[in-house]
Structure 1
């Protein structure tokens, strides 16, 4: 085995290890999406499940790619190449959905979700308490929401649950705070996806190079025996 082939093999193994790490990051983001976003959004559990599924598929393909590289199996390398190509197309589709559907889809669902929470707050105070404490916010739009409905400010609207003065009250509404928080997480998702796509493109090139090298070596071995 020549040095070039060895280098390609080691680089492919390293890249697939990186795929595993990034794939697990996507699984973690999908779990976050299910736990936090679906509690106020409508139908976002589907998106969270798809993200988790994508992360799991990436990990499986990465492990398969490691085995294919270690065993230098031509058929496995070819299957790996096809899987990588399909994976890149899937991730581009995900990125397109996130880029074009976030404002109208997710944000629209968040609006509906917070409207439902506010209706629950009117019936039974405390529906927004979790988000107010977590995001340091007050009401849906701002702290004045409670004045409109003639409800006293809940402790969750204040720093350390102590409404000692007007300075200790969170003025920003929970809806805008949640959208900003989600946007930051979606940005991280986009960055991870683009890193994966770039890395997978490099990995596909290395896998193709290793496949050609293995086939050439096989032909040379056969010609020697002939």
Structure 2
């Protein structure tokens, strides 16, 4: 049992280390996102929540590692409770996960809408957006033709042969939709990875707590057991002998 306990303990420490690295990665990504996100926007709120999640993961891991290293049953049980709470919160977040839409990111949507609506006043904004996102028009190159405008140079793909330039086949709205879907799928995959690791750590912690409880019981029984060849006399005999000794001395 001691060997099994040690194996689960060390694998649990490694799992918690990986769990902490995921938490640090979440905080690092959220910190970078906060630098570019505008305040009071859904993106800003999302990055703040991610920062809180990463910090919570790190605190839970430190608490759990303390219980494993010091072999404290009560700390392991509290750590199990923390993991269950984190799993419940993340399950609710995944359960209520909505399909992405172009307007799910208000900042990016407003940027595209502002650039397209100001095409007659500041066409450079839309041209810069098209060059950066490799797209053309709001829904496609036909948008310029409907407005009786020439397709700008920002809509053409850069090729080695300048005589065979091609227009980007998709519009900027579709590019934005693809980008948002990719980001949300990546975030969902990362969340499932965290949930899977938490389930693995939860099983390890439960097994470790059960083994630790049994080891403690064995230690208590070993203290109570009498070594072979030694006879334990009843407590009443010791009391009687003590009284007889006192009477003899008197």
Mark yes or no: TM-score above 0.5.
yes
Identify unmatched segments of 5+ residues in structure 1.
none
* Cα distance, 1:113 vs structure 2: 4.8
The equivalences for 1:51-90 within 5 A come to 51-90=50-89
3-state secondary structure, aligned to 1:188: helix
Instruction: State the TM-score, normalized to the length of structure 2.
Output: 0.72
Q: Is the Cα contact below 8 Å between 2:134 and 2:168 reproduced in 1?
A: yes
Kindly indicate which of the two structures has a greater share of residues assigned to helix: 1
Aligned to 2:231: none
The equivalences for 1:1-226 within 5 A come to 2-27=2-27, 29-30=29-30, 34=34, 43-97=42-96, 99-100=97-98, 102-103=100-101, 106=104, 111-149=109-147, 152-160=150-158, 164=162, 167-226=165-224
Identify unmatched segments of 5+ residues in structure 2.
225-250
3-state secondary structure, aligned to 2:50: helix
3-state secondary structure, aligned to 2:135: coil
Q: Is the Cα contact below 8 Å between 1:158 and 1:170 reproduced in 2?
A: yes
* Cα distance, 1:147 vs structure 2: 4.0
Worse-matched range after superposition: 112-121 or 49-58: 112-121
* Cα distance, 1:48 vs structure 2: 2.5
* Cα distance, 1:26 vs structure 2: 3.2
**Equivalents in 1 of 2:59, 2:120: separation in Å?**
48
Structure 1 runs of 4+ with >6 Å offset: none
**Equivalents in 1 of 2:143, 2:160: separation in Å?**
19
Change (3 A) 1:223 1:123: farther
Query: How many residues are paired up?
Result: 223
3-state secondary structure, aligned to 1:127: helix
Change (3 A) 1:64 1:168: farther
Q: Considering Cα pairs closer than 8 Å and 6+ residues apart, tell me whether 1 or 2 has the greater RCO.
A: 1
**Equivalents in 2 of 1:23, 1:197: separation in Å?**
12
